[in-house]
Amino acid sequence: MSFSLSSFYDANRRIIIWLILISLLWILNDFFGLIFITFVLAFIATPLVRMGQNRLKLPYRVSLTLVYIFFLVVLGSFFRYVTPSVIGEANRFLNNFSEIQLKLIELERDVGSKYPGIERSLHGYMRSILDENAIRVIDIELNIFKQSIYLSNDVDPEHAFETDLTEATHQKLKKYYDKEAELLMNSLVTKQMGKVSEQLPKLINHLYHGTGTILLALLFSFLILFDNIRLGSLMKSLHDSRLRDFYQETAQPVIRFAYVVGRAIQAQAMIACVNTFLTLIGLMILGIPSIALLSLIVFVCSFIPVLGVFISTTPMVLVALNTGGLALAIAVIIMITVIHIIEAYGLNPLIYGKHLKLNPVLVLIILLVAYHTFGLWGMVLGVPVAYYFIHDVFGVPLWDERRLEPVESSGTQGLQNKGPE
């Protein structure tokens, strides 16, 4: 029997079409961020345009233009007011760097004086972070300092607290520990600042490309919505073209998947509002200035999974360091950590579960697996993709549509039919 290409295509049409679609998406993976942001902006703009049409009685294109002018004003305001504020706080941090470094050393000394047992553990942890060359330089300086204060070589600083020593030796050991803490802290801070200096050009590059991507997405989404009627007619015309098989197979699933992603965006918007509200309360309790600006940064960055937490935390920590010192900065970090735990293990499962009708426990599992498997895009699209495959591809019923009544009634009916034995 001879091989027929048409027969092979007819027998495997669905598989071939979806393989082609997945291959096209893979080829365009470098533009995936642009495509996704374009879709998000179009999805957000559509109800705003309808609001302008229904409440303000504006023509469609006039309402659309006003919505995108509003988007540009918001984006421009963000870069006009937020970016200079962050740069200013960073400059203040660099100018006060030596003072902050001294506060870190003083904090370590206070901890060591109040809890002598953990001082060596704290120094050991700092040593484990540093490389061998830095440790070697620190040890050389410590040996020189040890000789300068006439601390006997018979005294082992690592186990000195376990032995009975004279008061003079205790005073020399305290000076030794303070010097060690100073050297370790200076080396550690210098190392971290070096890492920041190395990553700063990459961060600026990412911000530059991100800004360009957002501007392009604004333009593309505006053009798509501006001429959506003709574009819709053009897409429908594929039904009568040679691509009709491709259109018939993929049109409805793609539309359905876009709807699911839109629902996920609505859920993320609600999470951003709650996250911003909790952060606002925390900033007010801690007495951090510029709470309106910092809350705006938190709201915008809440739409960026995982990375948004670090981006929004940076200006808050800088403001806290410049305002109240290290203790206030640590309090801000603790506050953000608590809010992040509430968001990751409470808000995300509950709100995603309500919007997408998924069990909150299942949502939590999906988020964890998607993040560890696909990173940032796994956090963004993990839940809607899982929802689509669970309910639209495999046909599993929605979790809140399942009822125990039929099972209980059938069980009760069975007991009634069975009767007493």
| Domain membership flag for residue 174 | yes
The pLDDT score that the predictor gives to residue 69 is: 93
Domain count within the chain: 2
Residue 196 shares a structural domain with residue 106: yes
Residue 381 shares a structural domain with residue 252: yes
Residues of the chain falling short of pLDDT 50? 401-421
Residue where a domain terminates, one of 200, 222, 251: 200
User: Virtual CA dihedral for 70, 72, 73, 75, nearest 10 degrees?
Assistant: 120
Residue 193 shares a structural domain with residue 246: no
Burial of 266 (0-12, 13-18, 19+ CB in 10 A): middle
Residue where a domain terminates, one of 145, 177, 200: 200
Residue 195 shares a structural domain with residue 259: no
Residue 196 shares a structural domain with residue 253: no
Residue 378 shares a structural domain with residue 262: yes
| Domain membership flag for residue 236 | no
| Domain membership flag for residue 86 | no
Alpha helix segments (H runs only) across 96-166? 97-114, 116-129, 132-148
For residue 356, the one-letter residue type is L
| Domain membership flag for residue 417 | no
Residue 257 shares a structural domain with residue 362: yes
Residue 366 shares a structural domain with residue 297: yes
Which two three-digit tokens encode residue 355?
Answer: 């919007």
- Read off the pTM: 0.61
Which one, of 109, 95, 168, 144, lies nearest residue 318 by Cα?
95
Q: What b/e readout covers 133-168, taking b as 16+ CB neighbours within 10 angstroms?
A: ebbeebeeebeebbeeeebeeeeebeebeeeeeeee
Residue 190 shares a structural domain with residue 249: no
Distance CA 351, CA 333 (A): 25
Residue 14 shares a structural domain with residue 139: no
| Domain membership flag for residue 16 | yes
The pLDDT score that the predictor gives to residue 318 is: 75
| Domain membership flag for residue 59 | no
3 state SS of 183: helix
Residue 253 shares a structural domain with residue 390: yes
The pLDDT score that the predictor gives to residue 228 is: 83
Distance CA 412, CA 416 (A): 6
Segment 273-304, tens digit of pLDDT:
888 888 889 888 888 877 777 887 788 777 76
| Domain membership flag for residue 224 | no
| Domain membership flag for residue 323 | yes
> Would you tell me how many other CB atoms lie within 10 Å of the CB of residue 314?
16
Q: Which domain holds residue 109?
A: 97-200
The pLDDT score that the predictor gives to residue 68 is: 92
Phi-psi region of 304 (alpha: psi -120 to 50; beta: other; left: phi over 0): beta
Which two three-digit tokens encode residue 34?
Answer: 């642009």
Residue 379 shares a structural domain with residue 264: yes
Residue 375, phi then psi, degrees to nearest 5: 70, -135
